[in-house]
Amino acid sequence: MNETIHTVGDKACPVCWEKFPRSHLRCGGVVHAQLIHDNPEQGILVDFKCDKCGEELDDYQIYWQT
Ligand SMILES: [Zn+2]
Ligand SMILES: [Zn+2]
């Protein structure tokens, strides 16, 4: 197992997936994105979690600033 360490409060978190992290509008925290898998059989699965309020967000249900 290699656990990816996200930096709390870092809006330029280097280990986040794609264009993350993003701001969590509801609490002002930072939403980190962890890529779980990305392959042809299973597709792309990403976990989103706010580092401030701890809310886990599902795909496309994130309230972020663009
Ligand atoms: Zn991160
Ligand atoms: Zn939050």
Whether 1 shows a pLDDT value over 90: the answer reads no
C-alpha of residue 63 to centroid of ligand 2, in Å: 9
Q: In terms of residue numbers, what domain contains 26?
A: 1-61
Ligand 2: centre distance to CA 44 (Å): 23
Q: How far apart are CA 56 and CA 51, in angstroms?
A: 9
* Cα of 40 from ligand 2 centre, angstroms: 31
* Rounded distance between C-alpha atoms, residue 1 and residue 43, angstroms: 21
As for how many domains the chain has, the answer is 1
Mean pLDDT, residues 29-57: 90
- In angstroms, the CA 2 to CA 31 distance is 20
Whether 66 is in a domain gets the answer no
pTM of the model: 0.81
Comparing 9-13, 26-30, 44-48, the range with the smallest average pLDDT is: 44-48
26 falls within a domain:
yes
Residue 32 within any structural domain of the chain: yes
41 CA distance to ligand 2 middle (Å):
32
Going from the Cα of 13 to the center of ligand 1, the distance in angstroms, rounded, reads 5
One-letter amino acid identity for 56? E
